[in-house]
Amino acid sequence: MIPVLFEIGPLKIHSYGLMLGIAFILGNALMARDFKRKGWNPSIAGTITIIAVVSGIAGAKALHLIENWDEFIRRPSEMFSPGGLTWYGGFALGLIAVIWYVRRKRLPLLQFLDILGVALVLSYGVGRIGCHLSGDGDYGAPTKLPWGTIYAQGIAKPTYALTEYFLEHPDERAAWNYDSLRVIPAGLDRMGHAMSRFDMETPLHPTPIYELLLGIAGYGILMALRKRTWPDGAIFMIYLILSGAFRFAVELLRLNPRLAIGLSEAQLFSAALIAAGIVGFVVLQRRSEGTMPGKP
């Protein structure tokens, strides 16, 4: 893990922020490409990206602070930290802001959403590389799979990130020797923070990499589907279904707290995305069939 890639005097280049920036640049490039294909002004894609950056980060940060209000009251400076972004808050506010701008520009909204879905599914996966490199706690439960990853150098130490997980899974707690290894010091990381033997010896599911691979797969699926004829907006609805299903599945391995019904907040939002995508797809298909020649 490399939370800070390098320093230039007092300036620190964080891997999370860099990958987030690359993700937005990638999304902008994909949108601009499709804008040109449709004969739209590609510079509008740049403005849309800026709006998405500002509103998306604001929404993600705001929802994170609401969810962790007690901690925010104790440490108001958390508002200005680069971490602590809740993805569905950013998705919701970013989408609302972008739709508002597109309608102002009088672009065909459903056609634009199809372009947006293709850009989002890949750029989201690329952005997750930043979570992996920074080790910010978005990893998963312990695993013995050969690609299990040690996150000792990350900013969120597994010793603390897995506390609640092991309270809910006492058998796992014993199997991974949590109580004995977490109290053994293992030196300092590159940033001078203490590590335990548990941090150094426990491989975890690299769920950000899973999301990267799913994003690449989703991009391939949507690009293949675009070769067929669909009603405007259908590709975006399929994106919602894929995005929701991907995140719901990854959450099964993540450490996020579960609600009383056994699902995390992210899974509830993912289920809502899947439902919205299915309903939207069916509605668009029926409208399309109703406007075909020969239909009453």
Looking at residue 256, the DSSP 8-state letter turns out to be P
Instruction: Yes or no: say if 38 and 131 are a contact pair by the CB < 8 Å rule.
Output: no
Sequence-ordered list of residues with C-beta below 8 angstroms from that of 293, at least 6 positions apart, any chain: none
Please spell the DSSP secondary structure of 57-96, one letter per residue. Answer: HHHHHHHHHHHTHHHHHH-GGGGGSS----HHHHHHHHHH
Rounded to whole angstroms, how far apart are CA atoms 174 and 28?
Answer: 47
- Please list, residue by residue across 80-110, b when 16 or more beta carbons sit within 10 angstroms of its beta carbon and e when fewer do: eebbbbbbbbbbbbbbebbeebbeeeebeeb
294 — pLDDT class (breaks 50, 70, 90): very low
295 — pLDDT class (breaks 50, 70, 90): very low
Distance of CA 175 to the CA centre of its chain: 30
Residue with the larger pLDDT of the pair 259 and 79: 259
Whether 209 has a pLDDT exceeding 70, the answer reads yes
Whether 296 has a pLDDT exceeding 90, the answer reads no
244 — pLDDT class (breaks 50, 70, 90): very high
Whether 78 has a pLDDT exceeding 60, the answer reads no
* Residues 109-130, mean pLDDT to the nearest whole number: 96
Query: What is the number of other CB atoms lying within 10 angstroms of the CB of residue 33?
Result: 14
Whether 72 has a pLDDT exceeding 60, the answer reads no
CA distances from 282 to 174, 237, 276 (A): 49, 9, 10
For the chain, the structural domain boundaries read: 4-140+205-290, 144-204
Decide: helix, strand or coil at residue 193. coil
User: For 7-53, what is each residue's pLDDT tens digit?
Assistant: 888 888 889 889 989 999 999 999 999 999 999 999 999 999 999 98
The amino acid sitting at 185 is: P
